[in-house]
Amino acid sequence: MSSPGLDSISLDDNGRRVQRDLLNSRIIALFLESMVFGVFAILYATSVCDILCGNQPSTLSKRNKRLLGVNTLMFALAIAHLALTVKATLDGFVTNGTDRQSVYDAFFDSSHFGSGTDIAQFYIYVTQTLIGDAFMVRTGDIRNIRET
């Protein structure tokens, strides 16, 4: 029973709201990922210094070598993930940013595994999660064996 004019206005408002939300989510995601990466970079530097300062690199124990390797791999994956996020955001806002609609189209097309960047980010995230979980499970198993 509503007039056609009112339906089109509400659809247009909804479409603009979705566009604004998608663009805002990309900016907020980049900001939060940068903040978390900064914390991780500080923790990485602290842990490497702690591992290397107490020992000579040639006399590192097997455990410390493994810890240093896992730490470095996780840090490298975090750098790659952040670089891909920055690349995707810059591609959307700078390369395709002639107007709001083109920016939205670029992000919308890539938000459903539409680009190689998004697929790479997904697999980097999965790899980081699996490495972290495997390391924590292994550490927990070693502690349980030592306690019994």
* Averaged pLDDT for residues 100-108: 71
CB 53 within 8 Å of CB 111: no
- For the stretch 4-31, pLDDT in tens is 444 433 334 555 666 667 777 888 988 9
At 8 the pLDDT is 36
Reported as a pLDDT band with limits 50, 70 and 90, residue 83 is: very high
Number of continuous H segments (helices) and E segments (strands) in the chain: 4, 0
Residue 145 has pLDDT above 80, yes or no: no
- How far is 72 from 68, CA to CA, in rounded Å? 6
- Provide the pLDDT for residue 110: 62
Angle, nearest 10°, between helix axes 4-53 and 62-90? Answer: 150
Residues with Cβ within 8 Å of 56's Cβ and at least 6 positions away in sequence, in order, are: none
Taking alpha carbons only, the member of 31, 24, 129 closest to residue 78 is 129
Better-scored residue on pLDDT, 1 or 148: 148
Per-residue model confidence (pLDDT) at position 31 = 94
| pLDDT reading at 113 higher than 70 | no
- Is the pLDDT at 117 greater than 60, yes or no? yes
Rg (CA), the chain: 23
Give the DSSP letter string of 41-100. HHHHHHHHHHHHHSS-GGG--HHHHHHHHHHHHHHHHHHHHHHHHHHHHHIIIIISTTSH
CA distance 62 to 51: 12
pLDDT tens per residue, range 30-79: 899 999 999 999 999 998 988 888 766 667 888 888 888 989 999 999 99
